[in-house]
């Protein structure tokens, strides 16, 4: 009964938090002048336009490859410190892979580079109609999400997910994470975004941080719906059965806002200082993991992981 009572309280608190924060974000955005974006003139310059076209094509190619790849995302989900809840297994293939936050962010990144390329082409052809202005607005909103999210995703993969996989001895999962497709959605994502920040220097308004919080809220609600259908969460801290779920939810949203604020300051300074542009690219490289000697193919990795767990016992 103790667990059930706590689960109910956590679920109720999380729902209330999502509703309250959603209202506060909408209120902030309504006061923040979100319709006052100006077109980024750098998008129409030849180097930036070519880079954005190539980046959009690369995103489209990688995401299409992930969709058609028949290798599933294998999930074995258990609730931390809840032995009363049985393990749940589920495989995600094709469109099911878009249940991960990483692919949500990559899709937003692809949308940014596509709209930025079209907006730049329209600007270079002296098109200043309503369509061009709408694309400028849309590309700016997408950038304000893409830039901080690229760094957040890669930071979590390098400094949280990969160490966690190694600690569990699941070397076959580590091998999969370091294959070229996942690397493209982590390392490739942050490097392309960092290069865009250096070349095009799109601006970010500090007042618009609710956009990224709303993205987080959207994924939280989506995770609840995914749990109802499959019984799993991709990220354990979103599970209301996790003891500290409300604290984890607030921590996640605070982390999103923090990355946004840091990205906003960096974007403003990068417009005037080349050294900071290089620092952004260097920081992106610092969040990358390209290889690991413990990464082993599935059969070998699973055997090594089982042997390690036996040794620990």
Three-class DSSP category at 266: helix
Q: What is the pLDDT of residue 176?
A: 87
Give tens-digit pLDDT for 19-76. Answer: 999 999 999 888 866 666 677 888 889 999 999 999 999 999 999 999 999 988 888 8
pTM attached to this predicted model: 0.90
Give tens-digit pLDDT for 169-178. Answer: 888 888 888 9
289's CB contacts (< 8 A; 6+ apart) are: 157, 158, 162, 178, 187
Three-class DSSP category at 13: helix
Segment-wise mean pLDDT, segments of 10 residues, the chain, 313 residues: 84 96 91 70 90 96 95 88 89 95 96 93 69 80 95 92 85 87 95 95 87 95 96 93 94 94 90 90 94 75 49 46
Q: What is the pLDDT of residue 312?
A: 42
User: DSSP string spanning 197-253?
Assistant: HHHT-----GGGTHHHHHHHHHHHHHHHHHHHHHS--SSGGG-TTSTTHHHHHHHHH
18's CB contacts (< 8 A; 6+ apart) are: 217, 220, 221, 249
Q: What is the pLDDT of residue 301?
A: 46
Q: What is the pLDDT of residue 193?
A: 96
8 Å CB contact between 194 and 284: yes
Q: What is the pLDDT of residue 71?
A: 87
29/35 Cα distance (integer angstroms):
10
If you search the block for the tokens 């500090």, which residue do you land on? 206
119/29 Cα distance (integer angstroms):
24
């Amino acid at each position: 009964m103790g667990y059930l009572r706590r689960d109910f309280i956590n679920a109720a608190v999380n729902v209330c938090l999502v509703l309250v924060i959603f209202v506060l974000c909408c209120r902030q955005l309504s006061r923040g002048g979100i319709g006052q974006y100006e077109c980024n003139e750098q998008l129409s310059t030849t180097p930036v336009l070519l880079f954005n076209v190539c980046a959009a094509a690369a995103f489209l190619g990688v995401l299409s490859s992930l969709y058609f790849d028949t290798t599933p995302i294998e999930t074995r989900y258990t609730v931390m410190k809840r032995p009363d809840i049985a393990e749940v297994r589920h495989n995600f293939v094709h469109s099911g892979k878009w249940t991960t936050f990483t692919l949500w962010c990559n899709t937003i990144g692809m949308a940014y580079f596509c709209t930025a390329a079209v907006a730049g082409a329209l600007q270079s052809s002296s098109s200043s109609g309503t369509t061009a202005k709408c694309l400028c607005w849309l590309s700016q909103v997408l950038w304000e999400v893409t830039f901080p999210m690229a760094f957040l995703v890669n930071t979590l993969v390098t400094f949280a997910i990969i160490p966690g996989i190694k600690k569990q001895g699941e070397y076959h999962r580590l091998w999969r994470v370091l294959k070229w497709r996942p690397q493209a959605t982590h390392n490739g994502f942050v490097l392309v975004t960092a290069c865009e920040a250096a070349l095009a220097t799109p601006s970010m308004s500090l007042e618009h941080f609710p956009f990224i919080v709303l993205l987080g809220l959207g994924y939280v609600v989506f995770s609840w719906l995914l749990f109802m259908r499959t019984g799993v969460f991709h990220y354990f801290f979103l599970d209301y059965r996790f003891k500290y779920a409300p604290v984890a939810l607030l921590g996640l949203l605070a982390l999103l806002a923090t990355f946004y604020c840091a990205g906003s300051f960096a974007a403003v300074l990068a417009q005037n200082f080349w050294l900071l542009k290089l620092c952004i690219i260097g920081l992106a490289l610092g969040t990358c993991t390209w290889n690991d000697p413990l990464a082993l193919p599935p059969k070998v990795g699973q055997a090594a992981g089982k042997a390690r767990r036996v040794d620990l016992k």
